[in-house]
Amino acid sequence: MRSRGQETTMLTVLSPIFALLAAATNALGTVMQRRAATVVPQSSGLRIGLMWDLLRTPVWLLGIGGVALSAMFQGAALATGALAVVQPLFMLELPFVLLLASVVFGHPLPRAGWLPVGSIGGGLCLALFAAAPTGGTLGIPAARWTAVLTCCLLAVAVLCSVAVRLPNGPARAACMGLAAAVSYSLTAALMKSSTAALGRQGMGAFFTAWQTYAFAALGVCALFLLENAMQSGPLVASQPALTLGDTLVSLALGVTLYGERLRGGWWLTLQVFGLALVAYGVTRLSRQHLVPAGM
C-alpha cells in the first residue's frame, strides 16, 4: 500500500500535468472559436444572436469540444493541486494558441516569435518555483465567498460597460478579454470547491453544493464574454488580457480565498524576475508582426 506521503507526491506531480493538458486543449478550442468568429455576421454590440450563429458553425463546435475537454483536465488539476499553481500554468495557453493559430491560419510563426515563447515558459517556471504555493484551506466562510463574488462580478460589470462604449478594435477586445479572465478565474475558484466536495463526499455532495451550479452558470457567462472578445478585435489584443488576467486574478484568489501561501524574502526577487520574463514574452507576442495575419 502507498503511504500518505507517496499519494501526496503523486498528486503534486499529476496536478501540473493536468493543467498543461487543459492549457493545450483550451488553446485548440480558442483557435477554432476564433476561426468561427471570423465567418459569422459581425456586430458592434453584445449580440445574443451571435451564439445562435456560432451553434450552426461546425468549426465552432469543434472548438467547444476542446473547451469541454479542457474543463475536465482543469477540474482534475484543481482537485489535485493549489489554485495558485494550476491557473498560472494556463498562461502557457498563449504560446499554444499562437502556435496552433499559425497552422490553422496558414502563416507560420516567424523566428522572432520563438524567443518570447521561450521567455513565457521559462519565466513562468521560474516564478512558480520561486513562489512555491503551499497550504490552503477548503473551509471558506460564507462571508468571504460573498465578498469575493461581489468584487469579481462588479469588476466584470465595469469592464463590460467600458467595452461596449468602445469601437471594435484592440482596446475593446482587451477589455472584453479581461472581463472574461476575471470570470474564468472565479469559475476555477468555484470549481475547486465543488471538486473538493466530490473527492471528499462523493457525487451527492457535488450536486448539492451551490458552488457547482455557480461555476456552471459563470462558465457560460465567461464563454459568452470570450466569444464577444474574439469578435471585438484581434486575438493578439484579447488573448494577452485573457491569459495574464486569468493568471493574476487566480493567484489573488488562491491567496485571499483559499489561504494559499507564497514564499517571501529573497525569493520575491526571482518571482519578480520570472514575471518580468513573462511580461516581456507576452508583450513581444502581442505585436502584430510576430503573429499570423487574420488573428
pLDDT band (50, 70, 90) for residue 6: very low
List pLDDT tens digits, range 125-151: 898 888 888 767 778 888 999 999 999
Measure the CA angle with vertex 219, ends 46 and 85; round to 5°: 125
Identity of the residue numbered 194 = S
CA-based diameter of the chain, in Å? 62
How far is residue 161 from each of residues 146, 153, 155, 164, 276, measured CA to CA in Å? 22, 12, 10, 6, 30
The predicted model scores a pTM of 0.75
List pLDDT tens digits, range 33-92: 777 766 656 555 555 566 666 666 777 788 888 888 988 898 888 888 888 888 888 778
The helix, strand and coil proportions of the chain, stated in percent and rounded to the nearest 5, come to 80, 0, 20
pLDDT at 288: 47
List pLDDT tens digits, range 187-231: 999 998 888 888 778 888 889 999 999 999 998 899 889 888 878
What is the spatial distance between Cα 184 and Cα 203, in angstroms, rounded to a whole number?
Answer: 23
